[in-house]
Amino acid sequence: MIQVTDKALTQIKNIMEAENKKDHALRIGVRSGGCSGLSYVMEFSKETLPNDEVLEVDGVKILIDVFSGMYLKGSELHFSDGLNGAGFEFKNPNAARSCGCGQSFSA
């Protein structure tokens, strides 16, 4: 469904530790909005919903709802901490167009 790079996984674990969210899962999704039509969403969740696909990557539980799964299939979640700033990045083969900030896309 989605690949998570080692760097992203390390950062997710660090945030979970710092925010005392070790008992949570990471919910990754897509919502309407943003300058290109769809935006990426990441948040911690204690609840698994009936339509969630559940992945486990090196001890981190990842939840993706069915709607988002259509847009995220084959994507890679990466964390960049280069000179241009730090943050999570999605490399999404389903994105026909992305905005300059990389936080939204159209399919």
Place of tokens 């935006």: 39
20-58: per-residue pLDDT in tens? 999 999 999 998 865 557 888 999 999 999 999 999 999
Q: Which CATH class is domain 2-106?
A: mainly beta
Rounded Cα gap, residues 76 and 91, in angstroms: 5
User: For residue 103, what pLDDT band results from cuts at 50, 70 and 90?
Assistant: low
What is the gyration radius of the CA atoms in the chain, in angstroms? 13
Q: Per-domain residue ranges for the chain?
A: 2-106
Please state the pTM of the whole predicted model: 0.83
Average pLDDT over the chain, rounded to whole? 87
Task: Kindly list the strands in the beta sheet with 2-4, ordered across the sheet, starting from the edge strand earlier in the chain.
Answer: 2-4, 75-82, 85-91
